[in-house]
Structure formats: C-alpha cells, structure tokens
C-alpha cells in the first residue's frame, strides 16, 4: 500500500491537500538514461488548434519506455528498482534480465526490489509480476496489463490500483471481469501479468489547489451557464438561471447527458458477455 502524506495547513491551498509519500515507496529518483526519450507535448491540439479543451501547459516530462509486450520468454529477470513515472498513475519497475538487458515494466502492488519474475507461454508460479497466457491462470486470480490480441502487448487494466479477475476459461476464450464490472471474453493465448497494479492509493489524493492541476497539464473548466449565450447553449439569463432547455447540450449543441457514445455495431460487441453496471 502506498502511504498517504498529509500536508500541514500552512496556506489555504495546503489545507486538506494530500499526496503519496514517495520516500517510503520508491527506491530510485533518477530514471535509467537508456530507457528515456524526450516527449513533445501536443496538449489536445491538432495543427495548432484546440481539438480537446482543458488541456495544455503543465510540467515538462521525459517519457519512460515501458515494455508492455514483454516478449522475452523464459528468461528470469530481477527487479532493480521501483520508480515514479510522470506519464501514468502507476509506478514502474526497472528489471534486469539474466543476459544484462534492462527494461521498464508496470510495477504490481506487492513487487519489491530483488524479486525475481519470469514471462512464459507455459505455466509458471502465481507470483506478483509473473506473466503468462490467460489459459494457465487460475480462476479468481487478479491480473493486469492484459492483451486483447496475442503478441500485441498489454492494452487494458494498466492504471493505478486496477486489476481484472479471471472468471472462467472455455474453448478458445478466457472470461475476465474488468474493473468496470464488464465481463469480456479474450483469446486464451493472450498474456496477462499477475497481481494488482501499484499505487492503489492514487484515487485518495486530494489535489488541494488549482495550481497543482495546472502542473498536471489540466486547464480551467468553466460552466456553460456561466457564459454568455453566444458562447454556449446554456449561457445567458438573469443571475443564477437554469439551463432552460429540454436537455443539457454540449458546446456544439449535441446531447450532453444520458446518451450512449459507443457505436451499436462495434466489432468488439461480440466479445462482451455482460455489460458493466450503471
């Protein structure tokens, strides 16, 4: 578990602010130079024009090359350090294979320095950090960094504190319950890592002040009904007026609430066994 750090109320912004005490969790401050590249911030812009609102600025970050595929099979690797990654909510682990190669992977919550992990297409021990085909993982085991297609690399269940549960394996598919409560079938040859993703306390962090949001690259959000009528469909009116419409609208006049955005004929519908709970 990641220890929560509570700040002293030395200012209005500090009052109630919390964070993660990285000194008690992380084992290395500086990233591995060979596994870091520069990152150009696009910040929700296409050809310089804003395409996604409320994104921009923020602290400059280097991108860590995280190995989501982990295709080196049957070669033991040792965990050298648990590190912070500014590009994701979870922590990452620096591992060294027996042949000397270093790579970053997503750290699981129980992973510690000097732990030995292995990736295999055969059955291996049910130990946090080990990775194998879903068909070999027992029912009820939490898994993360799961592939949707064999050898494509982990695509789902990668955020801090998340995990999916294996519920069954039948024919060509393994059934898993995702963090959203959706039950989905995935080809049983796809790979998954054992355990829960690290930093499970991430959702308990209280930002505390607007400036901290700006450090994260999040720009201010203004309510539509606080604008003038030429700027937003909700705008205008005398004082604190309601929306004044049959249904709330987006800035572009589309339905804003209670509308399904998923395509009704999406190709992956066939893999969904049970929809998520509302």
Mean residue pLDDT across the chain: 93
Q: Are 104 and 62 in contact (CB under 8 A)?
A: no
Q: What is the pLDDT of residues 9-22, one digit of tens each?
A: 999 999 999 999 99
Domain limits, the chain:
4-203, 223-278
**Confidence class for position 41, pLDDT limits 50, 70, 90:** confident
Q: What is the pLDDT of residues 46-89, one digit of tens each?
A: 998 999 999 998 999 999 999 999 999 999 999 999 999 999 99
- Written as six digits, the tokens of 104 are 């970053």
Q: What is the pLDDT of residues 94-146, one digit of tens each?
A: 999 999 999 999 999 999 999 999 999 989 989 999 999 999 999 999 999 99
Residue 205 has pLDDT above 70, yes or no: yes
Residue 2 has pLDDT above 70, yes or no: no
Strand partners, 77: 97, 117
Q: Say what the pLDDT of residue 3 is.
A: 86
DSSP-derived 3-state class of residue 104: strand
Residue 182 has pLDDT above 70, yes or no: yes
What's the predicted TM-score (pTM) here?
Answer: 0.90
Dihedral (CA of 186, 187, 193, 194) sign? positive
CA pair distance 117, 128, nearest whole angstrom = 8
Strand partners, 116: 78
Dihedral (CA of 8, 10, 14, 19) sign? negative
Q: Say what the pLDDT of residue 251 is.
A: 93
Residue 260 has pLDDT above 90, yes or no: no
CA pair distance 169, 156, nearest whole angstrom = 19
Q: What is the pLDDT of residues 234-249, one digit of tens each?
A: 999 998 889 989 999 9
Region 4-203: CATH code:
2.40.50.140
Q: Are 215 and 225 in contact (CB under 8 A)?
A: no
Q: Which ranges constitute the DSSP H helices of the chain?
A: 210-215
Q: Say what the pLDDT of residue 221 is.
A: 95
- CATH 3.65.10.10 correct for 223-278: no
Q: What is the pLDDT of residues 183-193, one digit of tens each?
A: 999 999 999 99
What does the pLDDT average to over 260-265? Answer: 90
């Amino acid at each position: 578990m990641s220890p929560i750090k509570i700040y002293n109320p030395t200012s209005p912004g500090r009052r109630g602010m919390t964070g993660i005490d990285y000194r008690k969790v992380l084992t290395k401050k500086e990233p591995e130079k060979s596994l870091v590249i520069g990152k150009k911030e696009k910040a929700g812009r296409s050809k310089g024009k804003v395409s996604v609102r409320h994104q921009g600025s923020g602290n400059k970050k280097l991108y860590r090359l995280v190995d989501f595929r982990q295709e080196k099979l049957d070669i033991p690797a040792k965990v050298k350090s648990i590190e912070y990654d500014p590009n994701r909510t979870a922590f990452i682990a620096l591992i060294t294979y027996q042949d000397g190669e270093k790579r970053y992977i997503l750290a699981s919550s129980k992973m510690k320095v000097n732990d030995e992990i292995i990736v295999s297409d055969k059955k291996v021990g049910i130990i946090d950090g080990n990775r194998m085909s879903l068909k070999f993982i027992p029912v009820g085991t939490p898994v993360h960094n799961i592939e949707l297609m064999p050898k494509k690399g982990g695509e789902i269940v990668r955020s801090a504190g998340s995990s999916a549960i294996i519920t069954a394996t039948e024919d060509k598919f393994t059934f898993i319950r995702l963090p959203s409560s959706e039950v989905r079938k995935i080809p049983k040859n796809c790979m998954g890592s054992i355990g829960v993703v690290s930093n499970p306390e991430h959702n308990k962090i209280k930002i505390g002040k607007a400036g901290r949001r700006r450090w994260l690259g999040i720009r201010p959000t203004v309510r539509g009904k606080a604008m003038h009528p030429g700027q937003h469909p909700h705008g205008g009116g005398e004082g604190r007026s309601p929306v004044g419409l049959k249904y709330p609208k987006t800035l572009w006049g589309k339905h804003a609430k209670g509308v399904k955005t998923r395509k009704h004929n999406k190709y992956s519908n066939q893999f969904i066994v049970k929809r998520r709970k509302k």
